[in-house]
Amino acid sequence: MSIVVTGATGQLGRLVIGDLQTRGVPAAEITAVVRSAEKGADLAAQGVRLHVADYDQPETLDGAFAAADRVLLISASDAGRRVPQHKAVIDAAAAAGVAQLAYTGVFGGPDAWFALAADHHGTEDLITGSGLPYTFLRNNWYAEMYTGDLAGIIARGTVANAVTAEGRIATAPRKDFAAAAAAVLTEEGHLNRAYELGGDTAWSFGEYAAEVSRQSGRPVTHTTVAPAELKAILVGAGLPDGFADILVEVDDAISKGALAATPGDLSRLIGRPTTPIADTIAEELAKLG
C-alpha cells in the first residue's frame, strides 16, 4: 500500500504521517507532498518519500501519484483560493487513477451555509465529478484553535467573541482528526463515504471559560461582543478585512448551532471517545508551565 499525504509539513499532516506509521505503514510507502524539501527534511530522515510541489503550479504535481495510491488531500489554508489549488491535486490524482482520494472538508458538508464552507463545497463537487473513489472527512473546528491563545485569555480574564451564551461547538484536537484520517487510509470500507467528524460533546464558551478558570486558578469569563466590534478587533490584529468577515460569520454559525451536532463518526473511526476540551486545555497549560 502506498499512501500520499498533501500539506504534509502542516500540523495535521505530520500527525497523520505519524499515525500511519503507528498503524504499521512503512515510511518508505508514504509520500509527503511538501512545498519545501527543507521543511520536510525530518520526514525524509524517517524514510518518507518527499515530492516537492506547489498547488499554484500544477505541473509540479507530475509524478506525485500512482494508480495504487491512497491519497489524503489536506485542504489548503488560503481561503478563497483553495478551489483552483485543490483542482490541481484532483486533476493529477485523476490522471494517475488513484485508488482513493480522501479530503478534509468542513463539518456539515453541503448543509454548511457559512462563507468559509464555500471552498469545501467546490472541492467536494470536483472530487465527485472526477469519478475517483473518495472519502470526505468533514472536520469540525480544532480544539487548539481555542487554546492557542490560552495565556492571553488568562491574562485578560475573558474569552471574547461574537458567540451567544447558548452557542455550542463540538471540537476535537488535531490528533483525533489525524487518527481518523489514518484509519480511512489504511482500512477497508470507507470508499465513497462522507463522515461528519467532531467531538462527542458540544461545549459553550461559558463552560470553556469556567474550565480554564478551574484549571488555571485564575478568574476567566466569556464575553459576547457585537459582530462589528469583533471585526474591529480582528482587523486591528492584522487580519484582512474579508477574512475577518468570514470569522465573524463563523461565530454566528456557532450561535445558530451549525457546529454543535455530535453524530459520533469521529469516535467510531478512531475506536475511542474523542478527547474532551478539558484535556486540551490541560495540555496547553502544561506547555505554559
The answer, yes or no, to whether residue 77 has pLDDT greater than 90, is no
* pLDDT for residue 186: 98
Is 187 a domain residue?
no
- Per the prediction, the chain carries an average pLDDT of 96
**Percent of the chain at pLDDT exceeding 90:** 95
Q: Which domain, by its residues, includes 134?
A: 3-139
The answer, yes or no, to whether residue 16 has pLDDT greater than 80, is yes
Strands (E), 38-146: 49-52, 70-73, 100-106, 134-139
Q: Indicate if 86 and 156 belong to the same structural domain.
A: no
The model carries a pTM of: 0.96
Partners of 221 in beta bridges: 158
CA distance 91 to 160: 42
The answer, yes or no, to whether residue 287 has pLDDT greater than 90, is yes
Q: Indicate if 219 and 123 belong to the same structural domain.
A: no
Q: Indicate if 127 and 158 belong to the same structural domain.
A: no
Burial category of 106 from C-beta neighbours within 10 Å (exposed 0-12, middle 13-18, buried 19 and up): buried
CATH number, position 256 = 3.90.25.10
pLDDT-based confidence at residue 1 (cuts at 50, 70, 90): low
Reported as a single tens digit per residue, the pLDDT across 94-153 is: 999 999 999 999 999 999 999 999 999 999 999 999 999 999 999 999 999 999 999 999
| Final residue in a domain of this structure, among 93, 120, 139 | 139
Q: Indicate if 146 and 131 belong to the same structural domain.
A: no
Is 192 a domain residue?
no
CA distance 34 to 20: 17
pLDDT-based confidence at residue 239 (cuts at 50, 70, 90): confident
pLDDT-based confidence at residue 81 (cuts at 50, 70, 90): confident
Is 179 a domain residue?
no
CATH number, position 126 = 3.40.50.720
Supply the DSSP symbol for 54. Answer: B
Is 180 a domain residue?
no
